[in-house]
Amino acid sequence: IKRITTHSVRQMKVNGEKIAVLTGYDYSMARILDDAGIDIILVGDSAANVMAGYETTVPITLEEMMLHASAVVRAAKRALVVVDLPFGTYQGDSGDALKAAVRVMKETGAHAVKVEGGVEIHETVRRIVNAGIPVMGHLGLTPQSIYKFGTYTVRAKEEAEASKLKVDAKLLEEAGCFGVVLEKIPATLAAEVTASLAIPTIGIGAGPGCDGQVLVVHDMLGINKGFKPKFLRQYLNLYEAIGEAVGRYIRDVKASEFPSKDEQY
Ligand code: KIV
Ligand code: NA
């Protein structure tokens, strides 16, 4: 199998081939995604929400992210593995940011890191890229700044925020990012940004004009009960399917119907 690289995703944009991205946090799920042919597995800090049960992505640590990343790397034979640098590891000193990125690359075997923000971090992005580490950007709704914005609603609807986002996207491209996630912004703005960049955009709640799409795997499989924003297409209802299977197992155990004669030694 030929490995997807930062170069091949860039080539996909040139060829007009859409890039399919899902998040992944553990070995077993990542194996399924990789076998199914996903292009990029994003070890998102959404792990804080869906794996650890935190309300925001703020608390997750670099060590926790690296545990998830190592497991995904062991499963991914074809997919490019991108790892979120968690809150607090890159917003300050760019030397510390580089150290965090180096640790992710050396200790997990991942292929790239992702960071949130534009002008605020573009020098840091440049420094990490100069060290030979591919970086993906993330603009629009940036969940690590939730306490600054106070809401998870659509971003950049106003002209001022939209102009800043366009400038930020250009800055990230100039700093050397190989791609940029656009989260929860108007579809027209996402399409405009996508057309203005040579690097691919990966949208989530950003309309069909992006070069690729990403969803949180727990959301698209319907594991995450009660989370159904407008942008989310739910391909399965695993919450119900798993609950039903577990219910049957409980009944079988209680009724002494499991294990059967064929299920013992
Ligand atoms: O952490 C995450 O899952 C993400 C994607 C939603 C882009 O950053
Ligand atoms: Na994230």
> pLDDT tens digits, residue range 203-255?
999 999 999 999 999 999 999 998 899 999 999 999 999 999 999 999 999 99
Q: Percentage of residues in the chain with pLDDT exceeding 90?
A: 98
Is 257 catalytic? The answer is no
Q: Residue 144: CB within 6 Å of ligand 1?
A: no
Q: Which of 183, 192, 240, 244 is the catalytic position? A: 183
CA–CA dist 3, 11 (Å, integer): 14
Confidence at residue 1, expressed as pLDDT on a 0 to 100 scale = 85
The pTM of the full predicted model, rounded to 2 decimals, is: 0.98
User: Nearest bound ligand to CA 43?
Assistant: 1
Query: Facing residues of 180 across strands?
Result: 137, 201
CA–CA dist 84, 61 (Å, integer): 11
216 Cα nearest atom in ligand 1: 3
* pLDDT digit string, tens, across residues 179-200: 999 999 999 999 999 999 999 9
Q: Residue 44: CB within 6 Å of ligand 1?
A: yes
Span from the CA of 203 to the centroid of ligand 2 (angstroms): 13
Residue nearest atom 4 in ligand 1 by C-alpha distance: 44
| Confidence check: pLDDT of 153 > 90 | yes
The residue ranges of every structural domain in the chain are 6-234, 237-265
To test ligand 1's pocket by mutation, which of 33, 68, 84, 201 has the most ligand atoms within 8 angstroms of CB? 84
| Confidence check: pLDDT of 106 > 90 | yes
Residue nearest atom 2 in ligand 1 by C-alpha distance: 44
* pLDDT digit string, tens, across residues 61-91: 999 999 999 999 999 999 999 999 999 999 9
- The amino acid that residue 139 corresponds to is L
How many alpha carbons fall within 13 Å on the CB side of residue 150? 0
Confidence at residue 115, expressed as pLDDT on a 0 to 100 scale = 98
Q: At what angle do helices 122-130 and 94-108 cross, to 10 degrees?
A: 40
Nearest to 9 by CA among 82, 69, 64, 73: 82
116 Cα nearest atom in ligand 1: 8
Q: Percentage of residues in the chain with pLDDT exceeding 70?
A: 100
Helices (runs of H) and strands (runs of E) counted in the chain? 11, 8
CATH class of the domain at 6-234: alpha beta
